[in-house]
């Protein structure tokens, strides 16, 4: 597979009379874009905003982030989801860099939604405060789940993906400022130089725990709960084959933007042929029953060994129950002779003193921590709130609460907030670009 991503570096975004991109300025006709969004009869309210790094704006409940892109040949950016089922990872894709489409609930949030501060102290906790964001704030007629803590957010998430395609189409016929090429030779047809290097696989464990369909990450539009571990070309991940679901405390989530720009895959690509032989991605799954977890771990280890992997990186989306899958996978790989490093966040309690993962093993002796989901974050009021601030405590967001006998409510009368890191949108960035560092005391 050969994937060429043509990059257009967005320096600024504004609303204007027509859709255009020129010298780094992205202009969007707001009314036309809103008409496009409202073509879905289930959208009952919709508004678009532009927020930039440093803006004193708080967004909550944030549901999804997507990089605006377009396939030059007309294929869907998210095959099997926003269009026909096509092969991802081939051909030419144009991408608007330095920006994302953020989807925010106008009224209702849920367990899996989060918060972003574009400026102030809170901006340091999430990567998305560094981007120039097109924000869709909307509501739907999905009344059946508005009172539910766990929401599928189907209409809002799909609206965001379609809007990202719509905005990406602005640069479809333009010449990109830079082209990134991603290409790996077939595993059995690599040079002696490549084969003499340590061989590496990247094991991704996207969220797939929910047995009821509609919550999990999607692979080519297919619910990942139905999937067994499988070998994927890294280009597929970078090119829209996988989109984020609507399950998991928000700091642990991998947004669609994260899959599209996966830093770990890009780093492995950069080192291919120099320090490692990058074999590809083993896309695993997260299960509920212990037997299912063990079965998946065996599949992963067998696949890695059959590919000739000397080493592996394992990354899990989530924590708690998924820790069992994460550790089982590392142990199975180590037992198969594959040296393995794990990447995860941890749940050590508000005081940092609890066991970091639900299950542990002596063979899991090389784990990179991306932070504590239970760490308390206290932030002052923000000048502008997009969405509904009350949702942080009212709607069961994983890091917020309506009341605490010691800390009081998450949302105070003056608009200041206290919450767990759990509610910071994609804040732990297990996928490879966590801004956090470790300190020893």
Q: What is the pLDDT of residues 335-354, one digit of tens each?
A: 999 999 999 999 999 988 89
Residue 107: per-residue pLDDT: 93
Residue 438, pLDDT > 80, answer no
pLDDT computed for residue 147 by the predictor: 86
pLDDT at 93: 98
Summarised one tens digit per residue, pLDDT across range 268-316 is 999 999 999 999 999 999 998 999 999 999 999 999 999 999 999 999 9
Give percent above pLDDT 90 in the chain. 94
Cβ(50)–Cβ(384) below 8 Å: no
Asked if 331 and 295 count as a contact pair (C-beta separation under 8 A), the reply is: no
25-83 pLDDT tens trace: 999 999 999 999 999 999 999 999 999 999 999 999 999 999 999 999 999 999 999 99
Is this structure's pTM higher than 0.75? yes
Domain assignments of the chain as residue spans, ordered by start: 2-423
CB 61 within 8 A of CB 105: yes
Evaluate whether 159 touches 47 at the Cβ level (below 8 Å): no
How far out from the chain centre does Cα 385 lie? 23
Q: Mean pLDDT over all residues of the chain?
A: 96
pLDDT of residue 434: 78
Work out the number of other CB atoms within 10 angstroms of the CB of residue 409.
17
- 196 by Cβ neighbours in 10 Å (0-12 / 13-18 / 19+) ranks as exposed
Say if residue 105's pLDDT is above 90.
yes
The CA R_g of the chain, rounded to the nearest whole Å, is 21
Count of CB atoms situated within 10 Å of the CB of 108: 23
- Rounded CA-CA distance 23/355 in Å is 51
Work out the average pLDDT over 108-136. 96
Instruction: Report the candidate in 328, 312, 386 with the shortest Cα–Cα distance to residue 62.
Output: 386
**Residues whose CB is less than 8 angstroms from the CB of residue 143 and which lie 6 or more positions away in sequence, other chains included:** none
Model confidence at 435, pLDDT cuts 50, 70, 90, reads: confident
Q: Residue 196 has what pLDDT?
A: 98
On the question of pLDDT at 437 being above 90, the answer is no
Counting Cβ atoms within 10 Å, is residue 172 exposed (0-12), middle (13-18) or buried (19+)? Answer: middle
Q: Residue 441: pLDDT above 80?
A: no
Pair of tokens at residue 267: 């780093």
* Contact call for residues 75 and 91 (beta carbons, < 8 A): yes
Rounded Cα–Cα distance for residues 189 and 205 (Å):
28
Q: Taking CA 172 as the corner, what is the angle to CA 169 and CA 174, rounded to the nearest 5 degrees?
A: 135
3-state secondary structure of 209: coil
Sheet arrangement for strand 12-15: 12-15, 25-28, 20-22
Lowest mean pLDDT among 75-89, 95-109, 139-153, 184-198: 139-153
Confidence of residue 189 (pLDDT cuts 50, 70, 90): very high
């Amino acid at each position: 597979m050969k994937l060429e991503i043509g990059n257009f570096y967005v320096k600024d975004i504004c609303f204007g009379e027509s859709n255009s991109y020129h010298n780094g300025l992205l202009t969007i006709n707001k009314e036309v874009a809103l008409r496009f969004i409202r073509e879905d009869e289930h959208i009952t309210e919709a508004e678009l905003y532009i927020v930039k790094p440093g803006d004193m704006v708080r967004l909550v409940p944030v549901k999804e982030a997507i990089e605006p892109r377009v396939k030059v040949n007309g294929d869907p950016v998210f095959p099997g989801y926003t269009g026909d089922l096509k092969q991802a990872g081939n051909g030419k894709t144009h991408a608007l860099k330095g920006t994302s489409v953020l989807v925010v609930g106008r009224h209702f949030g849920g367990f899996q939604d989060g918060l972003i501060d574009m400026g102030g102290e809170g901006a340091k906790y999430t990567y998305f405060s560094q981007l120039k964001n097109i924000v869709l704030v909307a509501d739907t007629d999905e009344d059946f789940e508005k009172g539910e803590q766990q929401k599928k957010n189907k209409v809002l998430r799909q609206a965001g993906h379609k809007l990202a395609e719509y905005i990406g189409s602005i640069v479809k016929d333009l010449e990109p400022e830079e082209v990134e090429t991603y290409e790996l030779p077939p595993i059995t047809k690599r040079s002696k130089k490549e084969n003499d290097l340590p061989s590496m696989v990247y094991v991704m464990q996207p969220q797939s725990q929910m047995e009821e369909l509609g919550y999990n990450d999607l692979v080519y539009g297919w619910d990942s709960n139905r999937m067994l571990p499988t070998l994927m070309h890294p280009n597929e991940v970078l090119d829209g084959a996988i989109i984020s679901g609507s399950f998991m405390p928000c700091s642990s989530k991998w947004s669609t933007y994260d899959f599209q720009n996966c830093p770990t895959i890009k780093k492995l690509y950069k080192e291919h042929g120099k320090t490692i032989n990058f074999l590809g991605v083993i896309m695993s799954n997260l299960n509920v029953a212990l037997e299912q977890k063990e079965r998946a771990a065996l599949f992963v280890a067998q696949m890695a060994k059959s590919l000739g992997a000397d080493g592996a990186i394992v990354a899990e989306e989530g924590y708690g129950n998924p820790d069992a899958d994460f550790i089982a996978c590392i142990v199975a790989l180590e037992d198969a002779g594959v040296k393995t490093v794990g990447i995860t966040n941890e749940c050590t309690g508000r005081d940092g003193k609890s066991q970091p993962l639900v299950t542990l093993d002596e063979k899991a002796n090389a784990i990179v921590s991306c932070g504590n989901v239970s760490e308390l974050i206290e932030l002052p009021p923000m000048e502008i709130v997009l969405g509904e601030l009350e949702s942080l405590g009212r709607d069961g967001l994983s890091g917020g609460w309506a009341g605490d006998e010691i800390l009081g409510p998450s949302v105070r009368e003056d608009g200041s907030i206290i919450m767990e890191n759990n509610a910071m949108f994609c804040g732990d960035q297990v996928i490879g670009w966590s801004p956090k560092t470790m300190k020893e005391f």
